[in-house]
Amino acid sequence: MSLIVCRNSESGVIRVPTSRLWQRLRELNFCDIMPSIVAKCSLLIPHSGPSGEASTKSPTTVKLEDVEYSDLSFTCASVSSPFQSSLSVGSLRHVLYKDNAEFVFRIIEISDIQRQVSFELIETDATVNVSSVLHTIQLHEITETNETLVTWTTDFSGDCDMHVYNDCKYKKLDAFKDMRNVFQ
């Protein structure tokens, strides 16, 4: 991992109880938390047959560290969520944004106590010029009003350019708007 030298942090208030928002956020289903900007989100699973042999490839296949992964795809309008089956650290998410940017994230932390999830960028398309990105989303209960303060912090490697930084910032702000719409 490269030295982290750039940080963006955004926050927003979502007018729902923290426990309700956490139940949905901890799955890290990007279609659920950012439906206006995410076209598709997939849970990537190791791609092999019953004997360990590679089986028929799915429409989306990603090779990482000599392991091939295929997706459990669904559109943002899907009713059922395959994410409930893989809420563990190490699970992978393939995200296709509506602006055609593609990312693969690995969950590196899920804390029910802190109501925090962290995930790192492990693969991206050629249009994104940054080698290391670490996101942390944390929920804070506002006890006076029974609302939730959401903080989303992103640490970038030193090769981050202003386009990537600003894109990340505005996607977060759009995500807060989406969460307000989804949960009200």
Tokens read off for 34:
């950012």
Give the residue numbers spanning the domain of 87.
Answer: 4-182
pLDDT at 51: 41
Q: What percent of the chain has pLDDT over 70?
A: 74
CATH number at residue 87: 3.30.530.20
At position 156, the amino acid (one-letter code) is F
Mean pLDDT along residues 84-92: 72
Q: Report phi then psi at 47, rounded to 5.
A: -105, 95
* Percentage helix, strand, coil for the chain under 3-state DSSP, each rounded to 5: 20, 45, 35
pLDDT at 130: 84
Alpha-helical (H) ranges within the chain are: 18-25, 30-33, 162-182
In tens, the pLDDT along 7-45 reads 999 999 999 999 999 998 988 889 888 999 999 998 887
Count how many domains the chain has: 1
